[in-house]
Structures are given as C-alpha cells and as structure tokens.
Amino acid sequence: MKFLRENGGGVCAPLGFKAAGIHCGIRKNKDKKDFALIVSDVSCAAAGVFTQNLVKGAPVVVTKRNIADGVAQAVICNSGNANTCNRDGEKVAEEMCALVADVSGIASSDVIVASTGVIGLPLDIAPMAEHIGELYSSLGKNSDCAAEAIMTTDTVPKSVAVEFELGGKLCRIGAIAKGVGMICPNMATTLIFITTDVNISSAMLQKALSDDVKTSFNMVSIDGDQSTNDTCCILANGLAGNDEICAAGHDYSAFKRALHYCTVKLSKMIAKDGEGATKLIECNVRGAKSAKMARSVARSVIKSSLVKAAMFGADANWGRVLCAIGYAGEPVDVDKIDVNFRSAEGILPVCENGRGVAFDEEFAKAVLSRDEVEINIDLKLGVNKASAWGCDLTYDYVKINGDYRT
C-alpha cells in the first residue's frame, strides 16, 4: 500500500459522501453548531463499536439495532444533550432517524444516530424537526461544519483523511471525532464517524474496526471516566471500485494500515485537546512479554492522576511512573525497568534497572515543559510494544467540570 497524501477533506474525502453542520437551537449559544448530518450517495457496509458502560445512551441502543444487519447510509448527531437516562430516549433517537428518512428517502433503519452533551436532560425533538430541512439542504463538502457540530467542550474540531491505493484503485478514508472529557480506555472513548469508499464486506469492516480500536481509541485516557455514549462507526460505500475485500489478505492488511493511521492520528488529537490540557502525553512501552502486557502497562501509566499532575507541573517524578507500572496487574520485573522522558527539548533518562539515575533538574523542567512529552518504558522482558495517549491534569479541568451543566 502506498499513501499518496493526507488531505483535509475529512468525512467528505471519500467518493460519494456529503456532510453538514448547523445550529438548530439545542445549545443556547447561537454561535455553536449543534446538529450534524453525514450522508452517502449509496448504501454502505457499516460497522461500529460502542461504550461498555452499563448505562448506555438511547442513541447507542438504537444505532446498534440499526446496524445489526451491517448496512447504513447516513449519520445524524446532535450536541448539547446526551439523550441518556430519559424515559422517552429511544423514541427521540428513533425520531431523529425518521427525520433523515423524511428528507432523504433513506430508510430510518439505515441511519446511525448519536448524541453528546449533558446526561439526564430530556432531548426535545422540536428544534431538530424544525431545522432538518436546512441541515439536509446544507449537505456538501462540509466535513468541517459537521466536525464543529458534534463538539462539546472541545476547543478544536478533529478530522483526518488519507488517500491510498488498493489493486491500482485510488481509495480514501476520512473521519471526524469529538471528545475531551469522560474518556478512559474501554472501547471507543468518544464519538468518531469514519467514511471510506473502499469496497469491503460488512463482516471484514467490523473485524478491522474491532481490532483497530484495541491499539488506538482504547489507548486514550483523559480523566478515567467512561462515557455513556461512546460510539465509533464506519461506513464503506465501495465507490472506489476496488475488488471487494471479503477475507484477510494483502488488500485487507493495506486497508487496516490506512485505517490505523487515521485512528491513531485522531487518538492523539483527542488526547491533546483533553479538558483543560496544556500538553499531549504519549506513553511508549517496549520489551513486554505479550501485547497484552504492553497495552496494560501503557494504559496504567497514562491513566494515573499523579503522573498527569506531575506532567502539568513539569516535575520529573518518575517514581509515579514506576508505581503505575506496578499496579498494572502484569508480572513485570521491577529490577529490569528503564524509563526516560523525551520531548523536542531532548531525552532525559530517569530510571535504569528499576533504580533512579542522577539528572539535571533544570534540563528536566525544560524537557517536561514542552507541549508534547513522551514517557518511554523498556520492560526488557520480550519484543512486544504498545503506545497510549493522554494529557496533563490541570486546574482548568476542575473548573470546566465543576459547572459543566451551566
């Protein structure tokens, strides 16, 4: 597989996809878009992964039901209200799907529905019903508008798109995402909508997505809280014209690499934009006995509130890293562990064979004061590796979540 280029088309980069995002009135601020739509010209293979929280938003329940047959053609999403823990939640989610059906002719059962925002408040269908015509008429190459419309406390929209070749055919994958809080490894962590014009069966699409999130979105942690509405869905309309991918092989592997490029890029964007964050933290683990061990250790470190707080203060408190490794639930050998911190400022070794090494505090401060910092761990037990992403824990995180509803 050859990457030709990364482009800025987002979910509209693949052939046959259009998107829109407008303000319909769910959010009080009229300058904030809150209603998004993504539509394919033709029916798509569909796949999804969802929150593992036992408290699930109504849109998650409806979407899982709608894509059970592996087919969908549109995505509708609102921000400002999660439509979770409401008596009529499923009814409203189904009504949102029906709105798409009314204006587009797409079957309501072929619509993916999602909501994000405050939990426990009834979601009024009226503003969406009033503005669905405007939303549908706005469809075009407007991925950026859709990306803005699904944001909550995000400070920037998140999107990516790539082009690559399969069997001599130019193929594309595009995606948008939201998520800066209530994010913890255990499924998808946020709302992610992915489009592709690759011709692939729904079974192989589901396999690719389910495998991918284990080393992408499942490796992100902002605050240790798992959302009720986590949804990651992908639509594949086949318009690239490649031979259908129905089994593992060269084309399937190439598709997975392109997909993983997009999901990792979005994972880093989500982590860097964590609520109140000032820096992206990447924890890289190598030398693990198994892939599971590598992932468990990386996630344990990236989830640690004490590690996050130390990163905020640019404090090279490497003992907190060792502590998080120790409670990861994996049989590591403490006497073999090496740790260093790295940024654009340079590399700072802090631990060798489980023991501290002398370092210059001023240089350490400089390394950790950058807006992107790596925590690199070598377990020296095997050949497996993994990466996880998070952010620092700041005063602003508490401020944002202290009055989230207002």
* Of residues 27, 88, 85, 75, the one with CA closest to residue 229: 85
228 is catalytic: no
Q: Which residues have a Cβ under 8 Å from the Cβ of 291 and sit 6 or more positions away?
A: 384, 386
Instruction: Find, among 261, 276, 282, the residue nearest to 390 by Cα.
Output: 282
In DSSP terms, 19 is beta-bridged to 38, 141
How many CA atoms within 13 Å lie on the side-chain side of 259? Answer: 33
Which of 20, 62, 65, 13 has the alpha carbon at shortest distance from 39? Answer: 20
Written as six digits, the tokens of 83 are 């439509």
And the tokens for 101?
A: 């059906």
User: Between vectors from CA 165 to CA 164 and to CA 167, what angle results, nearest 5°?
Assistant: 160
Max Cα–Cα distance, the chain, nearest Å: 68
Classify each residue of 213-243 as buried b or exposed e, where b means 16 or more C-beta atoms within 10 Å of its C-beta: bbbbbbbbbbbeebbbbbbbbbbbbbbbebe
Cα–chain center distance at 143? 16
Q: Measured between alpha carbons, how far is 128 from 393 in angstroms, rounded to an integer?
A: 36
Of 189, 196, 231, 394, which is the active-site residue? 189
Give the catalytic positions in this structure: 189
